[in-house]
Amino acid sequence: MLKKVAVAVFVMSFIAVSSYAASLKPYIGVKVGGANETAKIDCSSDYGSDVVQKNNGWAAFGAIDLGVKYGPLRAEAEYGYRDYTEYERGSDNESYRGRMQTYFLNFYLDFPTKFFLKPYFNAGAGWAGIDAEAGGDTSNMFAYNVGLGLTYRLSKSFNIDCGYRYVKVNRLYDLDLGSHDLYAGLRYKI
């Protein structure tokens, strides 16, 4: 009797997991765009305080991602790269030059519409690697992002995403980093 119950539970569990897995839709994607990085640099010393807020212009941004879609929800693992950006520090014109690589686990909520154009909201967390050109040091720290955008459905397999997101990196020494990303992406349902 116990064997029959165990077999029945196993079979029912297998069917439930199989039907859930069948509704998961994996995809791969790429994103390209511009990253407007901002830096707030605290140049405090024993002789006073000097805080410089700098908007550094646009740098190239690119990302690749692998994800799954389940109904209106998406989850993806993303690797992103932002090109070299230069930061000047205070009145002594000391400068930092570095690039940022990000590793995020992102979650998306697609809002259903009756059209081929769908809005979405996203949030993600992970870490950022800041690679300084001088000295070759890399600092890894916690980072997060929030954003929104639109998805245009080209076909059953291809979607185009256009979006904005804000990326925030934990404080690095006296440098507080953020990035405003504008991007276009292509997703392919596997």
pLDDT in tens, 83-126: 866 655 555 555 666 678 899 999 999 999 988 899 999 999 99
Query: From the CB of residue 145, how many other CB atoms can be counted at a distance below 10 Å?
Result: 22
Q: Which residues pair with 34 in a beta bridge?
A: 60, 182
Please identify, in words, the CATH class of the domain defined by 26-189.
Answer: mainly beta
Tokens of 21: 């897995």
Supply the pLDDT for residue 23: 84
- With bands split at pLDDT 50, 70 and 90, how would you rate the model's confidence at 1? low
Query: From the CB of residue 119, how many other CB atoms can be counted at a distance below 10 Å?
Result: 14
What residue type is 7 in one-letter code? V
Q: SS3 for 67? A: strand
pTM of the model as a whole: 0.78
Residue-wise pLDDT for 140-166, tens only, equals 889 999 999 999 999 999 999 999 999
Is-contact 184 33, C-beta < 8 A? yes
Question: Which segments of the chain does DSSP mark as H helices, in order?
Answer: 2-23
